Amino acid sequence: MMQCCEENRNQPLLKLWIGPLPCVLLYHPDTVEVILNSLKNIDKSYTYKFLHPWLGTGLLTSTGDKWRSRRKMITPTFHFTILADFLEVMNEQANILVRKLEKHVDKEPFDCFLDITLCALDIICETAMGKNIGAQKNNDSEYVQAIYKMSDLIHHRQKAPWLWPDLTYLLFQGGREHNRSLKILHSFTDKVITEKASEKKKHDERKCDFDSNCEPSGSKKRRAFLDMLLNAMDNGGNKLSYLDIREEVDTFMFEGHDTTAAAMNWAIYILGCHPEAQKKVHQELDEVFGDSDCPVTVHDLKKLRYLECVVKEALRLFPSVPFFARTLSQDCYIRGFKVPKGTNAIIVSYALHRDPGVFPDPEEFRPERFFPENSSGRHPYAYIPFSAGPRNCIGQRFAQMEEKAVLATLLRHFWVEANQNREELGMVGELILRPNNGIWIQLKRRTAHMS
């Protein structure tokens, strides 16, 4: 796909067939805008249907009125004050990660990809479900294994048209493994929802306000996304059923760990390749934290402006979701070409972010591109790591907060050196952009104010 886009950079769009599906590839800001800005063309493409057995039709996969009402209902749960509560979990898990990585200091290169992914998984489990699964300490847990197995199976099925019909899929080993993993994932979420619901019931019986403290220990009860959904279930209006809640919790588990984990890994890799940028990040961290070991606060995050530009530039070069697709629900015109209803519009963010007209020397890592003076006036659809328009990523502030908090914690402790060049990464565009060969780094201990 990338080769097609690069070789036809001057063409407005490309047509191709994937099996029986007619597709157009879009990789210019103005052509991407036509699709993403539309309130009509919000249907996800055909291959998203393979997520339905696991995620149902939650926020990621639903469409029409269901999507609109669900989006409206869930948006307030990403309010700034709630995100600030989540920061506590992010700090805790980032510190566990630091302790895990300590053993690699001044040692051989190692692959950090899984370590960072398990940290992201623990963060999303506790913030989405209010359940600490301790994935960082026990990556053999059945639930953790099932999440990875399921993601692999879905991606493999999307690429193999002969596995698309449900009947034939079940004849293959993959189909049977899919059903086994599905049972594990759903029974885990069911168990957590049941526990939370009965906890909430006890609270309510004690005439206790949802976020107030009813615990005898006097500790403030942590809110999780699931608590807010259970609250929405009781507060009239669009009542959420038990299954509605499960599909949203599963959606957040799926969407909320792999993408942020990939983003943090790519940021670590790119800083390990560019010591001069890493020095600037360390300088900024020293200015904000000095040699204190205190957790990152919301106020601190606002001051980490250069780190934010590093994260943004890493997401430009390595967008967590390298392409995504919509099925057109009506005919539309793109640069004078009529694209008929039913076509799959594939937005290739990986190619879009490499448009030399918008980002000169696109393969170069330059965090300065995102300084306010350099990014004002840029086409709003030229950089879309979180998609854009009405169906943009609802968790984008959560993700940015997590990425900055975890990276700040790691980089306050370590100096990172990368051990691969880009060709050695073996990049693959699966459900997320992954390095097939892992991210191999070396760590040195860093004392504050180390040059």
As annotated, the binding site for heme includes: 393
292-299: long-range pairs with CB below 8 Å, 24+? 293/412, 295/87, 295/88, 295/91, 295/95, 296/87, 296/90, 296/91, 296/94, 296/404, 296/405, 296/408, 296/409, 297/87, 298/84, 298/87
In contact, 339 and 327? CB cutoff 8 Å: no
Q: How far apart are CA 184 and CA 153, in angstroms?
A: 15
Give the annotated binding-site residues: 393
Burial class (CB in 10 A: 0-12, 13-18, 19+), 58: buried
